Amino acid sequence: MPKLKVGGGSSPSPSIARSPSPPPSSSSAQKRKADDIGDSSPAKKPKTDEAKDNSTEARLKRKHQRDLDRMSSSSAVASHSGTSGFRADAGGLAKKTPKNEPKTKLDTPFGPVNASKFPTSDPGFKITTEAKNYGKKSSVGHKYSDLVDGMRKSGATDKEIATDLLKALEGKDPEKLTSGQAKNAAAKLSAITHVSEPQRVLGSDKAARGVLRMVQSGEISLDQAFKGETPTYPMAKNPDYMRRTVNYKDQNFKKETPKPTEFDKLGGYMSDSSGDES
């Protein structure tokens, strides 16, 4: 089995234009600081004719377009400076087509996962784990709600869980998510949000990291982030909810789409640099 090895430490996956926001505050800038590590691209001059739209939807549309541009240009390479080996390897795997690839092992900061094709038309990799890598009674379900519950088995608070997940993306070892079941859930969540979901909707990995920062700050809970009918991370419901929420093609939908929980605040927890992919 092909294996993607990383140095960042260490089951089926959930198959799962609005008015401009005011300029981010200094605190919001700090929230996004981690995403800007290693961004060496020159600063772009702000537009003078109109204010830049920094709404959540606008930020995600720009990220979506940058990813489309990179896919259409063989010379364009995404920047992962200052991030973990897992981020780079996950990004590389996400660019592949599942139906053309053999079952592949990917190491996450929490443990290994397997990526394989779904027996359906799903464009994302099917993410699974093996019990032998996580110990007895480490099994977790396949939905986002199951993964949240699995990570909570560690006894950690939502803020601590989000912090571990974000630190792991920087190549740091987890401090709270160390039990078998918690690591299993965290490994799957990390792989799903950084491999499978971007294959379904470009840029959704960036949204996932922003959502985790919201949980880390206490803005929302993990339940609000990944559970229910209006999760802050729309992909936790389904890809179509993400597409309708962001409205990438500026369509006029006949039926209004319910707004994800605290979605308008998400933009303040995401960077907007064209040179970084965080």
Q: How far apart are the first and last CA of the chain?
A: 29
Q: Identify whether 68 is part of a domain.
A: yes
Count other C-beta atoms under 10 Å from residue 62's C-beta.
17
Q: Identify whether 223 is part of a domain.
A: no
Count other C-beta atoms under 10 Å from residue 122's C-beta.
17
- CB burial of 81-109 (b: ≥16 within 10 Å; e: otherwise) equals ebbbbbbbbbbebbeeebeeeeebebbbb
Alpha helix positions (H), the chain: 26-31, 56-72, 85-94, 144-152, 158-169, 180-191, 197-200, 204-217, 222-226, 239-246, 263-266
Q: Identify whether 87 is part of a domain.
A: yes
pLDDT at 227 over 50: yes
Contacts of 59 (CB under 8 A, 6+ apart): 267, 270, 272
Count other C-beta atoms under 10 Å from residue 52's C-beta.
14
- Its domain, for residue 147, covers 3-17+53-203
Question: CA-to-CA distance for 36 and 46, rounded, in angstroms?
Answer: 18
Q: Identify whether 60 is part of a domain.
A: yes
Q: Identify whether 112 is part of a domain.
A: yes
* pLDDT (0 to 100) of residue 50: 57
- Indicate if the alpha-carbon torsion angle 150, 11, 222, 212 is positive or negative: positive
Q: Identify whether 220 is part of a domain.
A: no
Give the count of domains, the chain.
1
* pLDDT (0 to 100) of residue 51: 73
Phi, psi at 106, each rounded to 5°: -125, 125
Question: CA-to-CA distance for 205 and 182, rounded, in angstroms?
Answer: 21
Tokens 């986002």 map to which residue?
144
Q: Identify whether 26 is part of a domain.
A: no
Question: CA-to-CA distance for 50 and 88, rounded, in angstroms?
Answer: 35
pLDDT at 114 over 70: yes
Contact 264, 21 (CB under 8 A): yes
- pTM listed for this prediction: 0.79
* pLDDT (0 to 100) of residue 71: 79
* pLDDT (0 to 100) of residue 231: 98
| pLDDT tens digit sequence for 15-70 | 443 344 444 454 444 444 444 433 434 444 444 445 789 899 999 999 999 998 88
Question: CA-to-CA distance for 230 and 261, rounded, in angstroms?
Answer: 6
Q: Identify whether 255 is part of a domain.
A: no
